[in-house]
Structure 1
Amino acid sequence: MDERSGRVDVARLRADTPGVHHVIHLNNAGAALMPRPVIEAVVDHIELEGRIGGYEAADAASKTVADAYEASAELLGVDPREIAIVESATVAWDRIVYSLDFREGDRILTTTSEYGSNWAAYLQLADRRGVEVVMVPDDQSGDIDIAALEALVDERTRLISINHVPTNGGLVNPAAAVGVVARRAGVPFLLDACQSVGHLPLDLRSIGCTFATWTSRKFLRGPRGVGGAFVASEALDTFEPVFADNHSTTVTDMRYRFRNDARRLESWERSYANLVGYRTAVRYALDVGVEAIWCRVRELAAMTREGLRGIEGVTVLDRGTVQGAIVTFTIDGRYPVEVQELLGEAGINASHSTINSAPFDMRMRGLDGLVRIAVHAYNTEDEIDRFLTEVRVISAVG
């Protein structure tokens, strides 16, 4: 980061990122390009395992592993004891949700744009435990309606669970306002921060969530196969994880006792190479500066939306009072997967969302699919221009 301007050094980011020499990567909401320090951390640990053995390499990396928790806590404004590192964001989210002691008639309040995997879990809990899942409506901008949320909270509300940034659109939900409602009502608040960690500045304590989950591979630019969870220290004794092993518990005299930190959500077996890579990615993000990343991606995304709106046959679908790095659109006469494939042939990585990605939001908006791109701080204005040129070509012959 340029300390004087608070802006990212794009040239430095691109010099650190081998992938930018091979592709225009606009699939950062799927998996961002890893910077060279992250790649080297992963590869070096694998090579160390090959030389001295897996257990021995893990022991050798113990200080780096410990720093993964310290770095995550620094990034998110919490205590290292409140951090767990697991195999993915979905694993983290599921281990929290399925561990809560839901009873028949309890209510979960959630967003219309909740991720498909989260909906699968909600509906299974409804079938198994008689939980009622209630969608809080959107306000006119597309954000979660805070007044409606407050009105829906009652004595049966067991959990407020929302996404911070939905998978299929550019909005940023007002998480801190949700936190105010949750604290006032004394209801646990789970924040799905899968698309926001590394994307925008986060202070989970200020937001007021009880739990949060995120991934390594998206805006943090870490390796796949790693996710994180935050558990507020005051919530540790309010739930018992559904899985137990000799890492998360101590067994004595025919009794078991869970650890007294968030790592009670973890399992003993893990990829230490990925964990070391994740730690390096978090430190890299902290060094660049998440505030500077946020400013950069908002500029690039706004430029992208403006350009798309000027192309005949293109409809920009993003909503929200605050919009981030994700940009979604459709092209008349083209299937979203077809647009993704044509962009790929032109050397541009994009993505598409199907109705399964956010089933209720997509149905409510009459969408069966959309094209999704997401910029990162290492992308350039020239890359956006190239992307817009290709979209014009695709739209013209659609």
Structure 2
Amino acid sequence: MTQALDIEQLRSETPGCAISTHFNHSGSSLPSNTVLAVVTEHLQRESLYGPMEAAANAASQIDEARADAAGLICATPAEIAFSSSGSAAWGLAFAALPPLVAGDRILVGRQEWGGNLSTMQAAAKRAGARVETIPVNEDGSVDANALAAMIDDRVRLVALTWLPANGGLINDAAAIGKVTKAAGIPYFIDAAQALGQLPVDVSAIGCDMLKGSGRKFLRGPRGAAILYLRKAFLENLEPAYLDVLSSTWGEDGPNVRSDAQRFETSEKPIALLLGLGAALKHARSLGVEAIRHRIRELSGQLRDQLGAIPGVTIHDLGTEKSGLVSFTVAGMAPQTIRSKLAEKRITIAANGIPYTPLDMMARGLNEVARASVSYLNTTDEIDRLCDNVAALVQQAA
């Protein structure tokens, strides 16, 4: 049985809930008092004792954070590295793959995050390789059967953004994993919007790499992210650069670490990682199943209410949907919607083509407004958002 969340208590422990109506949790969520205290207390220790000394004293807490990150996704601590951002984590793993050569192919989901896509396209262009889009099902999700038909001996990587940034779609990551595992092809997952919103089991998914940000649904601080690398796959990766932490020096030169910390450096934002650790521990204590249950209910309500407003169009794809709700208002640009709602202390996002270029262009969308729901939100806040959107429809008419 899914445990009930004490929303009133959780909101009282989150200062931002008293300041605004926040519907941009997929951009950055609101940290708790506990996360804030952990970060600031470590910075105070740095000022008193020196950053190096404070870091040494916090080593066991960083180990705990690594263990909690592993526990969140059913991995082992040796398979977890920390990074400054999800994009940096993804880029580190991609750069460690064997170099592309002419004729190589990379297969990507139609909703691939724009930063990842740009990195792959640039590498493919240099090598004379190709980046190809996997067809989608009727509901807009990536088609695993179509992927299987595309596989040949020139495919070097399959990349999937699990929950795209431009709407509520949840791709079937496990179905894609079955295809890549059978073919023996590396499988990268961008789970930026999944961590802290959906239960994650990397073994069940079958991915070789998974990355996610701490600042989104996990409610950690900005500047800390998680990189998972499957142990057997890790052995095939050569980091683009090394550090005194990622390798030791022997008689024959550098000896690269055997765990995922080969992708870390000795210089780390310790305060932010401690904050991430506190956020991870909190999410695990609440239970991701309980979080998912509440987000599903609230986002469904928001989708229904927004969709019932004349002049509002919902743009979410998929059968099972996430907490990201994308929409447009007839006659009003999404950036204008965002700005006008901000005047009322209602925070949403506006996403353009660069975020998910293949999908946006395939659907003829230039930009969408995006309201993303957390377990912290309430039905009263949903009503407030929808009332204000309805008022904007009248202004645009």
TM value normalised by structure 1:
0.98
CA distance in 2, matches of 1:102, 1:299: 45
Matched, 1:28 2:25: yes
State the match for 1:309 in structure 2.
307
What do residues 103-131 of structure 1 show as CA deviations (whole Å, max 9, x unaligned)?
31221111111111011101111122222
Matched, 1:13 2:24: no
Decide which of 340, 346, 349 is 1:348's aligned counterpart.
346
Give the drift of 1:254.
5.1
Give the aligned CA root-mean-square deviation in angstroms.
1.0
State the match for 2:69 in structure 1.
72
- Name structure 1 gaps, 5 residues minimum: none
- Which residue identity is paired with 1:61? A
Matched, 1:226 2:203: no
State the match for 2:130 in structure 1.
132
Matched, 1:92 2:89: yes
Aligned length: 395
* Equivalent pair of 1:86/1:267 in contact (CA under 8 Å): no
State the match for 1:299 in structure 2.
297
* Equivalent pair of 1:146/1:177 in contact (CA under 8 Å): yes
- Which residue identity is paired with 2:242? A
Superposed, 1:188-267 pairs within 5 Å as: 188-253=186-251, 255-267=253-265
- Which residue identity is paired with 1:107? R
* Equivalent pair of 1:7/1:295 in contact (CA under 8 Å): no
State the match for 1:374 in structure 2.
372
CA distance in 2, matches of 1:297, 1:33: 15
What do residues 214-244 of structure 1 show as CA deviations (whole Å, max 9, x unaligned)?
1100000000001111011101221101121
Give the drift of 1:360.
1.4
* Equivalent pair of 2:100/2:123 in contact (CA under 8 Å): no
Q: Secondary structure at the match of 2:355?
A: coil
CA distance in 1, matches of 2:218, 2:128: 37
CA distance in 1, matches of 2:200, 2:2: 21
Matched, 1:324 2:308: no
What do residues 302-330 of structure 1 show as CA deviations (whole Å, max 9, x unaligned)?
00110011111100000102101000000
State the match for 2:140 in structure 1.
142
State the match for 2:332 in structure 1.
334
CA distance in 2, matches of 1:94, 1:138: 25
* Equivalent pair of 1:164/1:191 in contact (CA under 8 Å): yes
* Equivalent pair of 2:161/2:189 in contact (CA under 8 Å): yes
CA distance in 2, matches of 1:126, 1:92: 19
Give the drift of 1:5.
5.0
Q: Secondary structure at the match of 1:397?
A: helix
CA distance in 2, matches of 1:159, 1:326: 27
CA distance in 2, matches of 1:295, 1:369: 29
- Which residue identity is paired with 1:277? G
CA distance in 2, matches of 1:155, 1:218: 37
More divergent stretch after superposition (167-176 vs 248-257): 248-257
TM value normalised by structure 2:
0.98
* Equivalent pair of 1:109/1:136 in contact (CA under 8 Å): yes
State the match for 1:58 in structure 2.
55
More divergent stretch after superposition (275-284 vs 131-140): 131-140
State the match for 2:44 in structure 1.
47
